């Protein structure tokens, strides 16, 4: 059994909460006491049946306002897979929440209301999906019950969306007509949509191949912590603890430590307390090197024949996430995996309209803005292009005075 | 499947180990909050994998309400000894005396809410900057929205609207003096994941997790153990039942489930078949209000 992380993009109006409620309900991940609790609340709403959307509203403020503010994580599993849903709000004022949820997703479900077709919000969610480089996209055309399960309506939306996907370079897009409210094509294929030849949504989620999304070609091992027991029997022990974020490491590999550039050879690899011949992404491990060189948290161990870029000048697509606006020339801490360095935003090249992809000039940026910037760091950063290796191309910006995370960087 | 594919438990384990090492790398005085329950026992197993052959870069800390199951306390002491790590225990009873707090009254007079005082005092006493806990997002709606690194102010309060965005697997643990961070390495695990992991890793658990005979009363459908900590009414009927605990908290706020499951396999079959959530079935304290957990977290609770 493996693991799939996905994000649902859409708003309550598109039936997003109902869809998640339906997945949890039909996969029997909802328990009786939870159901009783929402049944009680549903009756207040004078609806005959239970309101599945109530399952996903977490905080009191959200229930009061009938909206989702923050990313909620939900879990369910089938005999084939464990699923982690990042349930992110869809409105433009919550772009940062969607970016957060999207950052770890293997797949995005983009919900379209069959009555409305491709709208501004659909484009925005697709643009964020493409910026964050989510490998798989499902376009769930919902509320098919309200358009008489019409194949023509579905076909027209597919034609429209294909344009969007093409312009954004989305590669793996799958279209599924559904009705979340009635469960059509969610778990079982619906006879009302007999003209649709693909699989049900759950069936697709269970079978979409995500193993190949893990990069095993470019070895990257950021050092998180150095283990040095300094006891009598282990006084020479010096293990570099971290996670293989991509690639494979083998005993005997010739490696380089960046940014220092010192080289050595892997003497030994420990995984869960056992010596092993190799480790691969995304395993956590301890590496031992032949030579006693200076390595500490924030360094990255890579293979000599596969080096990342190392520079102090970065081209970055940045999603601004703070209430206080970004000011050019301000200094922020930049954190990429375990490495933290001071940095300065040199200039804003343009602001990206997340609804239309239009670029405009800008000198500052506010909450939820997506901008292209040049960042200079105080010391060199080993990194890969985000579009090629998500694990080593994403960084956060931290305000040095408030310590808050203020930006998400996708490095070019 | 290639030889480079991992089981979902391997993914969850590696993610948790990564989080543990981030704590070690980012904080000066972390602590692992240990309750003797299965979730914190799982944390210890993960910490062993993250740091051995080195020592843990943090002590185990138990906030003892004085209402714990003796089996859980015994397990706690034995575990700390077996792994050779430091254990710090602070008692809610002492806080009540020192601060003149009012003991809760009633049938199930729970010190659960008072734990927060002792926890915050302990954080201050040792200047802990990060407290690692075994909370999971599947437990409860308010937990579903909490970050893995959850910043609390000097009163331990959680502000759900002011949470930091948490992107990729990059954790921002920077804080201002006085603040601290609660860290939840098994955020993405479900109850069943924890049990499957315990089975896979052959982790020993306190005996109360397995079926045993016990004197209980039936309180509104929940089976509560007879102990010195709860008051029996004239109408309470003491029953002898075969029970096990699905969660282990205080004797005053944890209910047992009727069960003959005497090993992990049986427990996993029961949990797979059950129709009631973990907290709904076994926690007397969550039923008080729709937002009970949200409120307690805002006040500094775990």
From the number of C-beta atoms within 10 Å of its C-beta (0-12, 13-18, 19+), residue A261 rates as exposed
Distances in whole angstroms, Cα of residue B42 to Cα of each of A113, A274, A372, B64: 43, 19, 43, 19
Cα distance from A49 to chain B (closest Cα, Å)?
20
Q: ∠ CA A400-A241-A250 to the nearest 5 degrees?
A: 130
- By Cβ distance, the residue of A57, A75, A333 closest to B138 is A75
CB within 8 Å of chain A, chain B residues 184-223 = 187-188, 190, 192-193
Q: What is the mean pLDDT of chain B?
A: 87
Q: What is the pLDDT of residues B130-185, one digit of tens each?
A: 999 999 998 877 788 889 999 988 787 888 777 889 999 999 999 988 889 999 99
The pLDDT assigned to A77 comes to 87
Nearest to A83 by CA among A184, A201, A245: A201
Please say whether the structural domain B8-193+291-298 has been given the CATH code 3.40.50.620: yes
- By Cβ distance, the residue of B4, B145, B193 closest to A216 is B4
Position with higher pLDDT, A134 vs B289? A134
Q: What is the pLDDT of residues B195-246, one digit of tens each?
A: 999 999 999 999 999 998 988 888 888 888 888 777 778 888 888 988 898 8
Tokens of A14: 């598109």
Mutate to test the interface with B, among A8, A80, A332, A396 (most CBs of B within 10 A): A396
Mutate to test the interface with A, among B148, B167, B201 (most CBs of A within 10 A): B167
Measure the CA–CA gap between A186 and B81, rounded to whole angstroms: 51
Cα distance from A30 to chain B (closest Cα, Å)?
8
| Strands A326-327 and A364-365, bridge-based pairing | antiparallel
Helix B38-51 / helix B70-83 crossing angle, nearest 10 deg: 0
The ipTM estimated for the assembled molecules is 0.92
What is the DSSP track for A41-96?
HHHHTT-SS--GGGGG--SHHHHHHTS--S-EEEEEE-SSEEEEEEE---SGGGHH
Distances in whole angstroms, Cα of residue B11 to Cα of each of A76, A339, B7, B98, B189: 16, 23, 7, 45, 10
Enumerate domains of chain A plus CATH numbers: 2-213 (3.40.50.300), 220-303 (2.40.30.10), 309-411 (2.40.30.10)
Taking the domains of chain B in order of start, what are their residue ranges? 8-193+291-298, 205-286
Please report the beta strands in A187-308, taking only residues with DSSP state E, as ranges in sequence order.
220-227, 239-243, 248-250, 254-258, 262-271, 274-276, 278-280, 284-289, 300-303
Torsion angles phi and psi, residue B240, rounded to 5: -105, 120
pTM over 0.90: yes
Q: In this complex, is the C-beta atom of A27 within 8 Å of any C-beta atom belonging to chain B? A: no
Decide: B69 and B208 in contact? Cβ < 8 Å. Answer: yes
User: Does B25 contact A336 at a Cβ distance shorter than 8 Å?
Assistant: no
The pLDDT assigned to B257 comes to 86
Nearest to B268 by CA among B178, B205, B221, B219: B205
Decide: B38 and B11 in contact? Cβ < 8 Å. Answer: no
pLDDT tens track, chain A, 412 positions? 899 999 998 766 778 888 888 888 877 776 666 666 666 665 555 444 556 666 665 666 666 666 666 788 889 888 889 999 998 877 777 788 888 999 999 999 999 999 999 998 899 899 999 999 999 999 999 999 999 999 999 999 999 999 999 999 998 999 999 999 899 999 999 999 999 999 999 999 999 998 888 999 999 999 999 999 988 888 889 999 999 999 999 999 999 999 999 999 999 999 999 999 999 999 999 999 999 999 999 999 999 999 999 999 999 999 999 999 998 899 999 999 999 999 999 999 999 988 888 999 998 899 889 999 999 999 999 999 999 999 999 999 999 999 999 999 999 9
Cα distance from B99 to chain A (closest Cα, Å)?
32
The pLDDT assigned to B224 comes to 83
Helix (H) or strand (E) holding B97: helix B92-99
User: Does B277 contact A242 at a Cβ distance shorter than 8 Å?
Assistant: no
The pLDDT assigned to B99 comes to 84
Q: What is the pLDDT of residues B256-285, one digit of tens each?
A: 888 898 999 998 888 887 767 776 666 665
Q: What is the largest CA-CA distance in chain A?
A: 77
| Strands B222-225 and B180-183, bridge-based pairing | unpaired
Cα distance from B210 to chain A (closest Cα, Å)?
22
The pLDDT assigned to B48 comes to 97
| Strands A248-250 and A278-280, bridge-based pairing | antiparallel
């Amino acid at each position: 059994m493996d693991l799939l992380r996905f994000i649902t993009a859409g708003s309550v109006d598109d039936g997003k909460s109902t869809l998640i409620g339906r997945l949890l309900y039909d996969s029997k991940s909802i328990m009786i006491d939870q159901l009783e609790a929402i049944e009680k609340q549903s009756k207040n709403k004078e609806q005959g049946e239970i309101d599945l959307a109530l399952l996903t509203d977490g905080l009191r403020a959200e229930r009061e306002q009938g909206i989702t503010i923050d990313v909620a994580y939900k879990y369910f599993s089938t005999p084939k897979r464990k699923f982690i849903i990042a349930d992110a709000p869809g409105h433009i004022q919550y772009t940062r929440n969607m970016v957060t949820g999207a950052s770890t997703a293997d797949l995005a479900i983009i919900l379209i209301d069959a009555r409305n077709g491709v709208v501004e919000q659909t484009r925005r969610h697709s643009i964020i999906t493409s910026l964050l480089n989510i490998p798989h996209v499902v376009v769930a055309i919902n509320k098919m019950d309200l358009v008489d399960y019409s194949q023509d309506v579905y076909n027209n939306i597919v034609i429209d969306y294909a344009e969007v996907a093409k312009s954004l370079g989305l590669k793996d897009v799958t279209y599924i007509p559904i009705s979340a409210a009635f469960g059509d094509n969610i778990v079982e294929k619906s006879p009302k949509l007999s003209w649709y030849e693909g699989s049900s949504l759950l069936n697709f989620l269970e079978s979409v191949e995500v193993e190949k999304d893990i990069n095993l070609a470019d070895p990257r091992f950021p050092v998180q912590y150095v283990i040095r027991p300094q006891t009598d029997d282990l006084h020479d022990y010096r293990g570099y603890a971290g996670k293989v974020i991509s690639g494979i490491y083998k005993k005997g590999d010739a490696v380089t430590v960046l940014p220092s550039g010192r080289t050595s050879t892997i003497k030994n690899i420990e995984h869960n307390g056992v010596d092993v011949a190799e480790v691969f992404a995304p395993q956590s491990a301890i590496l031992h090197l032949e030579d006693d060189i200076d390595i500490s948290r924030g360094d990255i161990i890579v293979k000599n024949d596969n080096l990342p870029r190392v520079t102090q000048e970065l081209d970055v697509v940045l999603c601004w996430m703070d209430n206080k606006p970004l000011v050019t020339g301000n200094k922020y801490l930049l954190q990429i995996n375990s490495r933290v360095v001071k940095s300065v935003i040199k200039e804003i090249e343009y602001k990206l309209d997340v609804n239309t992809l239009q670029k405009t000039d800008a000198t500052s940026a506010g909450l939820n803005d997506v901008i292209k910037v040049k960042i200079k760091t105080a010391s060199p950063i080993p990194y890969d292009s985000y579009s090629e290796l998500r694990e080593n191309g994403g960084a956060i910006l931290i305000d040095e005075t408030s310590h808050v995370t203020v930006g998400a960087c996708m490095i070019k | 499947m290639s030889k480079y594919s991992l089981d979902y438990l391997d993914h969850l384990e590696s993610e948790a180990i990564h989080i543990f090492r981030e704590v070690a790398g980012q904080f000066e005085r972390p602590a692992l909050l240990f309750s003797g329950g299965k979730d914190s026992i799982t944390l210890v197993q993960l910490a062993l994998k993250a740091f051995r052959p080195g020592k843990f870069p943090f002590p185990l800390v138990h906030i003892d309400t004085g209402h714990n199951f003796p089996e859980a306390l015994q397990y706690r002491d034995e575990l700390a000894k077996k792994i050779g790590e430091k254990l710090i225990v602070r008692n809610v009873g002492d806080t009540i005396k020192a601060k003149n707090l009012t003991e809760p009254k009633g049938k199930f007079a729970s010190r659960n809410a008072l734990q927060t005082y002792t926890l915050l005092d302990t954080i201050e006493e040792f200047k802990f900057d990060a407290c690692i806990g075994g909370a999971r997002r599947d437990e409860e709606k308010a937990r579903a929205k909490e970050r893995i690194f959850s910043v609390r102010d000097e009163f331990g309060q959680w502000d759900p609207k002011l949470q930091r965005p948490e992107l990729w697997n990059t954790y921002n643990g920077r804080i201002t003096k006085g603040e601290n961070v609660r860290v939840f390495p098994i955020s993405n695990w479900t109850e069943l994941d924890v049990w499957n992991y315990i089975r896979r890793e052959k982790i020993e658990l306190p005996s109360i997790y397995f079926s045993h005979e016990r004197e209980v009363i039936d309180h509104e459908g929940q089976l509560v153990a007879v102990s010195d900590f709860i008051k029996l009414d004239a109408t309470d009927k003491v029953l002898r039942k075969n029970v096990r605990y699905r969660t282990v908290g205080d004797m005053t706020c944890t209910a047992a489930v009727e069960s003959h499951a005497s090993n992990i396999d049986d427990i996993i079959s029961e949990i797979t078949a059950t129709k009631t959530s973990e907290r709904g079935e076994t926690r007397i304290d969550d039923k008080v209000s729709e937002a009970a957990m949200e409120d307690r977290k805002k006040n500094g609770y775990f």
